Chains A and B, each alone.
Chain A
Amino acid sequence: MTTTQDTTTPKEKTSGVTYTPEDGLLLEVEDLYVEFHTPDGIATAINGVSFDLHQGESLAILGESGSGKSVTAQAIMGILDMPPAVIPGGHIRYCGQDLLSMPEDQRRRTRGPEVSMIFQDALSSLNPVFPVGWQIAEMFRMHRGVNKSDALQQAIRLMERVQIPAARDRVKAYPHQFSGGMRQRIMIAMAIALDPAVLIADEPTTALDVTVQAQIMALLEELQQERQMGLILITHDLGVVADVADRIAVMYAGRFVEKADVVELYSAPAHPYTRGLLESIPRLDQKGQTLAAIGGLPPNLMRIPPGCPFNPRCRRAEDVCRRDRPELREVVPGRLAACHFAEEVINA
């Protein structure tokens, strides 16, 4: 494995705890629930989500705004505001250890060296009053006790690694002095500084121009392959992640409604919601066609309808959909979907 810092400092974990993935299994999320207890009532933002993530694997989580993608990511990172958030059930295991029952100080030490995250808006996610190099160097200083000047040297190497031009001259610059794409590269440098095993990218390119989007995705893919990270790519735009992701989980109202290999899902979605999302992507081969966006709005998370949560918006909905909740089940080998009519949808 090539890393930018292995020439000077051996990778050491000051926590004293070592995490070793068994059979490459990094992360297991099992039947996770997240609620927000607000004055208006309880909103169930995550409603029984499960998935695994292995070394070198990219999982895309796809869904409309408000479907619970960021909340899932924040629950894994342990950065939800609690209150109002409550995790009434589920497990999140990292290398076999349950993060949710871990003492807070031990869990804190996993953020950065083990599990790391980059956010959508790099401008607001970086501290405006500290130089970018300082913010990257803080990772080495706080987690490994590296002294200031060595940490800054390592920060420069990371900035070079994420292809920031003239990194040495710009290490003292402030976030607002960079372009959007460069800022996101700085976020990435900070997140990969301690060589984490899992990297979560929450809509890393949503705020950027299309050409810059492609560059950032290419960088993430390169870093992931170089370091064999498990990568979780959160997006509401399948087109952006299709090249990078191996698997896709489609999220609707806090549930996974479909899980599949990216190519298979692309060619034959098994859930009407996934189909709707795919139809709303502009395609180069069919110029001039109007986008068929999904009509209607996602449900109010305080009053999720009985039966299939998607039924008020589903063109296929029948009586059974308003009565029985479809479980996520295997439709054909390796394909999971939560729809009573998944077999028909996949063959349509």
Chain B
Amino acid sequence: MGTYVIRRLLQMIPVILGATFLIFTMVFALPGDPLAGKCGERPCPPAYAAAFREKYNLNDPLPIQYGKYVGNLAQGDFGETTNGIKVIDQLKARYPITAKLALMALAFEAIVGITVGVFTGIKKGGFLDNLVLISTLVVISIPVFVVGGLSQYFLGVKLGLFPVTVTSANPSFYQLMLPAMVLGSISLAYISRLTRTSLVENLRSDYVRTATAKGLRRRRSIGLHALRNSLIPVVTFIGFDFGFLLGGAIVTEAIFNIPGVGGYLFRSIRARDGASVVGTVTVLVIVFLFVNLLVDLLYGLLDPRISHD
């Protein structure tokens, strides 16, 4: 187990290097001059341009630029935005908001998804089952901005149940509720169907038959023996989804005006702010890899047949 974790951590290094190199190259290859528009309508003064090029090593060939960047990165320096703000400070302000939104979306999709999946799985083919089957199909096939816009209009504007958009730099639980539900809706649909399928399959299994033959109550046979096994793929999915959610939700954050990393990344790309883009993506990649490692470890705990050694 310990050696497994160390091996996995070492494996992360080439992945992080590869990912940052790719994103670095892509930002570098973006058409246009990074200085364009920096100084209003006019071209930038030569002295400013020279300082700018020096600061971001723009005169070096790409591999050297990258090497210098990674060198700084290894010392914990994620660089500065073109406005001279440290990228890491930008992320420190925004990441907690994204993480809060992600956790709320995750809790929503997990609790509702599993509950719905269990009830439809037990009463397979019933009215509720068919209703859920159709509505999950609808949710999965509609783009997020449509779901977001519609729920904003009906639940926010028409019914006034939720704030329509986020208005503070540090949004409250209540303000994030509707965005979290929108953000979690697609995974919610997947989770409920995955739970249902997995439960139906496990209810047919030999060990559930054994549980019945042991004289256990039906509630225990289903709620403990079958469900414990059914949740293995579900919890794994939820774990991976957490990794994605922590990457920031560009569309949802944009719709609800949430100052999270998704929106920040989006604006940085639009502004050709190379340092911000590369720095943010690097952080996201590292977070994603760590969450994945945690999910794999969790999977080993959930399923004793998996051994990490």
Whether A111 contacts B212 by the Cβ 8 Å rule is: yes
The answer to whether B209 touches A125, judged by C-beta atoms less than 8 angstroms apart, is yes
Contact present for A79 and B213 (CB under 8 Å): yes
CA–CA, A76 to B88, complex, Å? 69
Convert A98-125 into 0s and 1s, putting 1 for each residue whose CB lies closer than 8 angstroms to a CB of B.
0000000000111111001101010011
Could you say which of A121, A139, A174, A176 contacts B214, with CB atoms under 8 Å apart?
A139
Q: Is A129 a contact of B303 with CB atoms below 8 Å?
A: yes
From B94-102, B142-150, B215-223, the one touching the partner chain is B215-223
- The 8 A CB mask of B92-129 against A (1 = contact, 0 = none) is 00000000000000000000000000000000000000
With beta carbons under 8 angstroms apart, the residue of A108, A127, A142 that contacts B210 is A127
* Chain A residues with CB below 8 A from B212, complex form: 79, 111
Q: Is the CB of B213 within 8 A of A111?
A: yes
B207 at interface, CB cutoff 8 A: yes
- On whether A174 and B215 interact (CB within 8 A), knowing A124-B206, A125-B207, A127-B207, the answer reads no
A142 near B229: Cβ-Cβ < 8 Å? no
Contact check, A119 vs B206: say whether CB atoms are below 8 A apart: yes
CB–CB B207/A117 < 8 A:
no
Q: Out of A77, A111, A128, which one reaches B229, CB within 8 Å? A: A128
A125 to B217, CA, bound (A): 17
Determine whether A229 belongs to the interface, using a CB cutoff of 8 Å to chain B: no
Does A124 contact B207, Cβ atoms closer than 8 Å? yes
- Whether A129 contacts B302 by the Cβ 8 Å rule is yes
Q: Which of B208-253 contact A (CB under 8 A)?
A: 209-217, 220, 225, 228-229, 232
Indicate if B76 sits at the interface (CB-CB under 8 A): no
Given contacts A125-B209, A127-B225, A128-B207, A176 and B215 within 8 Å (CB-CB): no
CB atoms of B210 and A110 under 8 A apart: no
* Residue numbers in B under 8 Å from A117 (CB-CB): 213
Q: How far is the CA of A129 from the CA of B216 in the complex (A)?
A: 17
Query: Are A127 and B229 within 8 A (Cβ)?
Result: yes
Contact A143 B225, beta carbon cutoff 8 Å: no
A195 at the interface (CB under 8 A from B): no
- Give a binary string over B285-309; 1 marks a CB under 8 Å from any A CB, 0 the rest: 0000000000000000011110000
Closest chain B CB from A131 CB (angstroms): 8
B side interface size, CB within 8 A = 21
In the complex, what's the smallest C-beta–C-beta distance from B308 to chain A, in angstroms?
Answer: 15
Question: A138 in the interface, Cβ–Cβ < 8 Å?
Answer: yes
Q: How far is the CA of A282 from the CA of B77 in the complex (A)?
A: 78
For residue A109, which residues in chain B have a CB less than 8 angstroms away from its CB?
A: 215
B296 CB to closest chain A CB, in angstroms?
17
Asked whether, in the complex, the Cβ of A126 is within 8 Å of the Cβ of B215, the reply is: no
A90 CA to B210 CA in the complex, in Å? 25
Known contacts A127-B229, A129-B229; A142/B303 CB under 8 A: no
Given A127-B229, A129-B229, A142-B220, A112 contacting B303 (CB threshold 8 A): no
Chain A hits for B209, CB < 8 A = 79, 119, 125
Within 8 A of B (CB), among A234-253: none
Residues A127 and B215 in contact in the complex (CB < 8 Å), given A119-B206, A121-B206, A174-B305:
no
Flag if A126 contacts B305 (CB, 8 Å).
no
A138 touches B216 (CB 8 A): yes
Contacting pair B216 A142 (CB below 8 A): yes
What string of 1s and 0s marks CB contacts (under 8 Å) between A173-203 and chain B?
A: 0101000000000010010000000000000
Instruction: Indicate whether B205 reaches chain A with its CB closer than 8 angstroms.
Output: yes
A129 contacts B215, CB within 8 Å? no
In the complex, what residue of chain B is closest to A110 when comparing beta carbons? B215
Residues of B within 8 A of A143 (CB): 215
Hey, which chain A residues are within 8 Å of B220, CB to CB? 142
B213 touches A124 (CB 8 A): no
A126/B207 contact (C-beta < 8 A), A174-B304, A176-B304, A176-B305 known = yes
Interfacial chain B residues near A187, Cβ < 8 Å: 210
B75 to A: closest C-beta gap in Å: 45
> Separation in Å of the B9 CB from the closest CB of chain A?
27
Which residues of B sit under 8 angstroms from A128, Cβ to Cβ? 207, 229, 303-305
Q: Chain B residues near A79 (CB, 8 Å)?
A: 209, 212-213
Contacting residues, chain A, for B214 (C-beta < 8 A): 111-112, 138-139, 142, 190
Top 3 A-B residue pairs of the complex, sorted by shortest distance between their CB atoms:
A111-B215, A112-B215, A124-B206
> What would be 7 A-B contacts, judged by CB atoms less than 8 Å apart?
A119-B213, A126-B210, A128-B304, A129-B228, A129-B303, A129-B304, A138-B214
Known: A111-B213, A119-B206, A139-B215. 14 other contacts (CB 8 A): A77-B213, A79-B212, A108-B215, A108-B216, A117-B213, A119-B213, A125-B206, A125-B209, A127-B207, A127-B210, A129-B229, A129-B303, A176-B304, A190-B214
| A interface residues (Cβ-Cβ under 8 A, vs B) | 77, 79, 108-113, 116-117, 119, 121, 124-130, 138-139, 142-143, 174, 176, 187, 190
